[in-house]
Amino acid sequence: MKNKRVILLLVLFLLPGIQFCYSQSNDAPKEVQQTDFGKFNNSSLGKNVFVFDPSMNMNEIQIMIDTIFNRQSVRRSEFSKNRYALLFKPGKYNLDIKVNYYMEIIGLGKSPDDVVITGAIRSNTLHNNSVLTNFWRSVENLTIVPSDTTVVWGVSQAAPMRRVHIKGNLQLYDKGYASGGFLSDSKIDGVISSGPQQQWFTRNTQMGKWVGSNWNMMFVGVINPPAEDWPVKPFTKIKETPVIREKPYLTLNDNGFAVNVPLLKKNSIGPDWINNTPNEKTLTENEFYIAKADIDNSESINSALKKGKNLLFTPGMYTLDKSLKVTRKGTVIMGLGMPSLMPSNGNAVIEISDVDGISVCGLLIDAGKISSKVLFQVGEPGSGKSHEKDPVFLYDIFFRVGGPSEGSATSCMVINSKDACVDHIWLWRADHGNGVGWDKNRCANGLIVNGDNVTIYGLFNEHFQEYQTLWSGNEGRVYFYQSELPYDPPTVDSWKHDGVFGYASYKVSDNVKRHEAWGIGIYNVFYNAPCIVDNAIETPIALESKIHHKIIFWLNGNKESIVKSVINGKGGSVSVSNRKVVMD
């Protein structure tokens, strides 16, 4: 019997095949046809969406989840084509859920307390004895009761935890360093430990206690943040979140799946769901066009948008030869299982008209081989309408220029509309992976903001070839900024302009009269040339005092490199002999 059991487990593990995307790897496994795990699969949401019920056999569910995790653990799975959404109906489960690349763990209750996982949901070290590349994974809308008192969520960028109740402690690292993360709309009963986590952003969360500090930790609208203040400890605390609409979330009712859209809140503190705040609206499954990567293209998706449908992208890789035109007020676009959208014709991926109330969440946007002027545009150039009462909201949007494959663009995101709000974004010109090099994955800017009254929570923006962030709108607000300058300028002369050495990471244009930012972390690693950067931050002189809590850090690389000033020639320099400068 023992041998038969071993054989059965091997069959269950090996049968579902693996799909990979290693376009430039000589030792890549060949693509194998995937077989679904029958009863866990919900065909209406695509073959890689698995739905679990508490009445199911826990051992079978565990084998299923372990199988997906192990698929994503093989060499270079960081750039795999595989995408998965694991959905849990309301009820209680006893599981150890290990989360890897492109795995999204979602509870389907109206409250996080409707889905209870006893055991673990965890993201651990896999490679290089750190979690510096633990990207592209998420968990939301459920409760975790950790069997050993602590949830280990060792992640770096693009790994959000939202709408989660942890009945225990939360550890934001595993082995070695971690490079930033995002936590919102959650309740942590115990202690949050940051350990060697370099930076972290927390919004509208209730915690028992926070322990640990490193470079840049920010708390906005948080109940019980740490007592210490900048610069004694690297903590920036903003009592209230000025404006937010929490991310739309998936639920289940008698008629199928639904998407709940929370209300707009101003000056809020703590999680949205604890006080049973009613939703603004609930959208039924019939109000969505459910896109599938093996069927849909630009034409079919745009046709659905013209018919007034919302969009739900199921897990997969979407190639689009025309931009998706979003013109209807209040449209909701949701990605499930971190789907990837890539242009094939030098086009944008998404263009949003200058209208009220659009929500876009949970998408990876990859640059294509033919360079695009912009990958994601919000509002047409010159947009002037006010959207204060019903802004556009963008949640968990992650851009990649190179990495999975060769790609280029002029800029990743351009925001022209007024009053837009961004809640967690990572714009990444790849420093490793496929198609990477100064003359290969070309991209000048990560983010350009032209609209007035734009607010961003959790802005991660790295390695672009000119200004990482270029802000030209008035009344802008940024809460937390993480940025690395490009690793790879080949010479000093290749990275200078108008008599200025290098490019500032954070640039506020000369025409801007009012702008404010808090928690600004800028870091440099120059592996090639002995780069010189005149300013890490550039703003009009009158706005210097509005850029609060700044840290500039010399991490590694060419020992002759130097960042000569923090802001506008002020604040001292960072180099191998003076690696960190902290300013109010």
Domain boundaries, the chain: 39-239, 286-583
Angle subtended by helix axes 58-71 and 2-14, to nearest 10: 50
| CA 92/CA 337 separation, integer angstroms | 22
How does pLDDT run across 498-538, given as a tens digit for each residue? 999 999 999 999 999 999 999 999 999 999 889 999 999 99
The domain 286-583 is placed in CATH, from the list 3.40.50.300, 3.30.360.10, 2.40.50.250, 2.160.20.10, at 2.160.20.10
φ, ψ dihedrals at 413, nearest 5°: -130, 135
Please determine, for residue 43, whether its predicted confidence score (pLDDT) is greater than 70: no
How does pLDDT run across 420-441, given as a tens digit for each residue? 999 999 999 999 999 999 999 9
Instruction: Look at residue 18 in the predicted model and tell me its pLDDT.
Output: 31
Averaged confidence pLDDT in the chain: 92
Q: Which secondary structure element, helix H or strand E, spans residue 249, and what is its range?
A: strand 249-253
| CA 522/CA 216 separation, integer angstroms | 10
At 462, list the tokens: 């790295």
| CA 331/CA 336 separation, integer angstroms | 16
At 474, list the tokens: 């008035």
Q: What is the pTM of this model?
A: 0.93
| CA 320/CA 157 separation, integer angstroms | 26
What are the catalytic residues?
484
Residues 6+ apart with CB under 8 A from 582: 230, 231, 234, 550, 551
Q: pLDDT confidence of 132, banded at 50, 70, 90? A: very high
The answer to whether the beta carbons of residues 507 and 471 sit under 8 Å apart is: yes
Distance from the first to the final alpha carbon of the chain: 68
Rounded mean pLDDT, 252-279: 92
| CA 84/CA 136 separation, integer angstroms | 11
Lowest mean pLDDT among 190-204, 208-222, 223-237, 265-279: 265-279
DSSP letter string, 176-244: S-B---EEES-EEEEEEE-TTB-EEEEES-EEEEEE--SSEEEEES-BS--S--TTTSSEEEESSEEEE
Beta-bridge partner residues of 459: 425, 481
| CA 530/CA 552 separation, integer angstroms | 17
Domain formed by 39-239, architecture: 3 Solenoid (2.160)
Q: pLDDT confidence of 1, banded at 50, 70, 90? A: very low
The answer to whether the beta carbons of residues 178 and 197 sit under 8 Å apart is: yes
| CA 456/CA 466 separation, integer angstroms | 21
Percent of the chain predicted with pLDDT > 70: 93
Instruction: Look at residue 277 in the predicted model and tell me its pLDDT.
Output: 82
**3 state DSSP class of 308:** coil
Q: Do domains 39-239 and 286-583 have the same CATH topology?
A: yes
Query: What is the β-pairing status of strands 324-326 and 515-526?
Result: unpaired
Rounded mean pLDDT, 381-404: 97
Q: Which secondary structure element, helix H or strand E, spans residue 283, and what is its range?
A: strand 279-284
